[in-house]
Structure formats: structure tokens, C-alpha cells
């Protein structure tokens, strides 16, 4: 008898907490999915090897089992026919509401890292020891990949616990879902930022400035349009983002719900922004601020070809374009912005994400120390 089989009296009809479906029973699990059970001709209650998104899907599965019994075609399910992790993970991914890039990322992790190791096993057969050995096999060369793989495995198995397919989550490695940064990004100084902007082509100078001073993501910048800019009040309305997945551009909402935000533009940028709108942006409210040569969405490699040359001028060959967002966030933090204010400006939904940018900038700790002494001596600014 397997874990998904339990001997009950034929009169019980399965879990009495479930909703009777004529044949068998269906109940709603904490995860929101439906679990179907029925009693076979051998008097044993069987649970469907997977859970279902809708009540209709669960009823359809029970109807097939009932038809098999009616036609004398039914056979007791064998262990090897129970849902494998591969089958469960496929269903899990299909039912998730994910951004295109996230879905593609998860699919790649499953195909290349999780399924080769765990795909053939049922969730209940995946043990803590097996997970620890698999996790150790990554070594220390790819900490981010290792943390992403572990985090995905833990999340899928957590859903299996909610679906009552397994009694508990076998992922017990403390801190394994968090990657330690191998390289700490050094924010660009104001002088370095100025040199980089000066070295960029005219049509991308403002893009570089907004990437730094407004801490916008590349995908948010390339989807900015005239209608998103309130130059008179100095506000950028971030409402969309562009991502490339498998060579195709997907336009949607920003990375998270918090990414839909209004960002105040530092006043010193407004004259340059107005000039950019006048000289480099086509008329019409839907015209892109930073279009590709053909008028479509700018490709990252086009920008990087110019940015890599510009960063060399500033002596910062280590700097990525996305690091300008980091630099802008650190600058904002150095003004005394609170964590909540940083979260709002950066479009982060959790404090942990914004905290990554609250590093101590050069000289800031000394300023804090001086301010503390001023307080002790009763000085006021």
C-alpha cells in the first residue's frame, strides 16, 4: 500500500470533509487546488496522483476512473504510476502566474538542474540527504545559480506539502536559498558618472542620467514614452517594462507590483530632459524616449557597445549599466532617505531588496560620527 492509498470501508466514500461528486469525493486544499479520491473495487481509497486547478478538472478525472470501473477496465494504480516530481513540477509551473522572463528562468532551472536529479522520483521519495548531496555537488563556483535552484525546489515542495502529497518539506539547508555576493559593486562617484555621461552618444546621455539619478531599470528605461514624462512637475510615471525572452520582446508591467510607481526627477536634470524630448524624441504621446535605430525597442547590446567604451574613459571597467541603478540608490540613501522611501523610489516590494542598496557610501560614516558629536555637544544645524 502506498502513501496515497488508505484502506477505508466502501461506505466511507473517501475523505468525509470532501465534496461528494457522485463518484468519489473532491476537496479543496489550502493551496486552492482540488484533490480527488475514490474507492476502487478492491475496497481501497485512492487519491489522484496530482491535484487539480479547477473542480471541473477533478470531476473529469473521477469520471474517467468511474468509466474504467463500469467497463471492467480498472486496475489498482501501481507505485510506478504515481505522479513523479517531473510531472508535479510541470503542473506547478503551468499553474503559476509568472512574468515571461521568470517562467523561462524556472523552466531552464527545472530542465537543466532539478529534473535530471529528482525528476524520476515521487515527491515523497525526495529525502533531505538527497537534497544536501545535490546541493553540495554545485560547489562554490556558482552561488547564485545554486541558490536559485534550491529556492525553486523548496518552493515546489512547499506547495506539495500544502497539497498534502508529502508530510513535510525535505529542504532543510539553512540559508541555501540566499546567494552571497561574490563581488560587491562599488558605486560610481559623481565624477565617474559625469565622465561616463560625457562619453555616451547624445541620444543615450539622458538614458544614462535617468538610470543613475532615478535608479530606473534598463527594461523600464527602454519602454519610457512621452506620456510617461511630466517635465513640468518633474515626475516619471513608471508603468511598463520590456524584457527579452528567447529572443522575443515582451512588454508588460514592471518587475513587481511595486514597480508601478512615480519617480521624482532631480531638478538639475530637467533642462537636459526637456532638451532630449525636443531633439531626440518623435512627436506623439506613445513615442519612445530611447528607441532603437529602426524605431523599435532598444536592444541591450546596442547600449552596451557604447556604455562599455564610456566606462573605460572613467576608469571603471567593472561597472555594468545596471550598477548605475545601484549608484543612484546609494546616493538616495546618503541623503537620509528612509527604507520605505527607498522602496518606493526603487520599486521594491520587500525591505530585503531595498536594503541591498543601503550600503555606506564613502565618507558617509564619518558624517554620521560628526553629527553624533554635534548632538552630544548640543549643536544644531
What residues are labeled active site? 217, 322, 325, 348, 357
**Is the CB of residue 234 less than 8 Å from the CB of residue 344?**
no
* Dist CA 335 CA 227 (whole Å): 29
* Dist CA 242 CA 219 (whole Å): 5
Phi-psi region of 161 (alpha: psi -120 to 50; beta: other; left: phi over 0): alpha
Task: Give, as one character, the DSSP assignment of residue 177.
Answer: T
**Residue 368: burial class (beta carbons within 10 Å; 0-12, 13-18, 19+):** exposed
Positive or negative, the CA dihedral 168, 169, 173, 177 is: negative
| 3-state DSSP assignment of residue 121 | coil
CA Rg value for the chain: 28
Give me the residue label for grid cell 555606506.
360
For residue 285, the tally of other CB atoms under 10 A from its CB is 9
By C-alpha distance, which of 105, 49, 118, 104 is closest to 78? 49
By C-alpha distance, which of 149, 29, 23, 25 is closest to 89? 149
**Is the CB of residue 45 less than 8 Å from the CB of residue 5?**
yes
Helix (H) or strand (E) holding 6: strand 5-7
Strands 5-7 and 44-47 come out as antiparallel
Here the cell at position 48 is: 489522484
* Dist CA 167 CA 187 (whole Å): 46
Q: How far apart are the first and last CA of the chain?
A: 77
| 3-state DSSP assignment of residue 41 | coil
Taking the CA atoms of residue 140, residue 143, residue 148 and residue 151 in that order, the dihedral angle to the nearest 10 degrees is 70
Residue 251's alpha-carbon distances to 99, 148, 240, 245, 271, in angstroms, are 10, 24, 7, 11, 29
Amino acid at each position: 500500500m502506498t502513501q496515497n492509498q488508505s484502506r477505508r470501508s466502501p461506505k466511507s466514500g473517501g475523505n468525509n470533509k470532501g465534496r461528494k461528486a457522485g463518484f468519489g469525493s473532491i476537496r479543496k486544499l489550502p493551496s486552492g487546488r482540488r484533490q480527488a479520491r475514490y474507492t476502487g473495487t478492491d475496497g481501497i481509497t485512492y487519491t489522484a496522483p496530482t491535484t487539480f486547478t479547477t473542480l471541473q478538472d477533478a470531476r473529469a478525472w473521477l469520471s474517467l476512473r468511474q468509466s474504467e470501473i463500469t467497463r471492467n477496465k480498472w486496475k489498482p494504480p501501481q507505485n510506478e504510476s504515481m505522479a513523479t516530481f517531473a510531472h508535479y513540477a510541470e503542473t506547478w509551473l503551468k499553474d503559476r502566474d509568472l512574468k515571461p522572463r521568470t517562467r523561462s528562468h524556472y523552466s531552464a532551472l527545472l530542465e537543466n538542474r532539478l529534473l535530471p536529479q529528482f525528476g524520476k522520483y515521487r515527491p515523497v521519495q525526495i529525502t533531505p540527504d538527497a537534497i544536501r548531496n545535490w546541493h553540495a555537488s554545485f560547489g562554490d563556483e556558482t552561488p547564485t545559480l545554486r541558490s536559485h535552484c534550491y529556492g525553486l525546489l523548496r518552493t515546489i515542495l512547499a506547495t506539495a506539502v500544502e497539497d498534502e502529497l508529502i508530510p513535510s518539506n525535505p529542504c532543510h539547508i539553512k540559508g541555501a536559498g540566499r546567494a552571497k555576493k561574490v563581488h560587491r559593486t562599488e558605486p560610481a562617484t559623481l565624477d565617474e558618472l559625469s565622465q561616463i555621461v560625457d562619453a555616451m552618444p547624445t541620444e543615450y546621455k539622458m538614458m544614462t542620467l535617468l538610470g543613475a539619478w532615478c535608479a530606473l531599470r534598463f527594461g523600464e528605461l527602454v519602454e519610457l514614452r512621452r506620456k510617461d514624462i511630466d517635465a513640468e512637475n518633474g515626475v516619471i510615471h513608471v508603468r511598463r517594462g520590456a524584457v527579452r525572452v528567447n529572443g522575443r520582446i515582451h512588454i508588460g508591467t514592471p518587475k513587481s507590483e511595486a514597480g508601478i510607481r512615480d519617480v521624482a526627477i532631480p531638478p538639475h536634470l530637467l533642462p537636459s530632459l526637456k532638451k532630449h524630448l525636443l531633439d531626440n524624441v518623435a512627436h506623439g504621446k506613445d513615442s519612445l524616449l530611447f528607441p532603437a535605430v529602426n524605431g523599435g525597442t532598444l536592444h541591450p547590446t546596442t547600449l552596451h557597445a557604447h556604455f562599455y567604451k564610456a566606462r573605460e574613459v572613467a576608469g571603471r571597467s567593472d561597472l555594468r549599466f545596471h550598477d548605475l541603478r545601484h549608484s543612484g540608490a546609494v546616493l538616495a540613501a546618503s541623503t537620509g532617505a528612509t527604507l520605505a522611501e527607498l522602496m518606493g523610489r526603487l520599486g521594491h516590494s520587500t525591505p530585503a531588496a531595498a536594503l541591498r542598496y543601503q550600503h555606506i557610501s564613502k565618507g558617509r560614516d564619518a558624517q554620521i560620527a560628526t553629527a553624533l558629536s554635534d548632538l552630544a555637544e548640543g549643536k544644531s544645524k
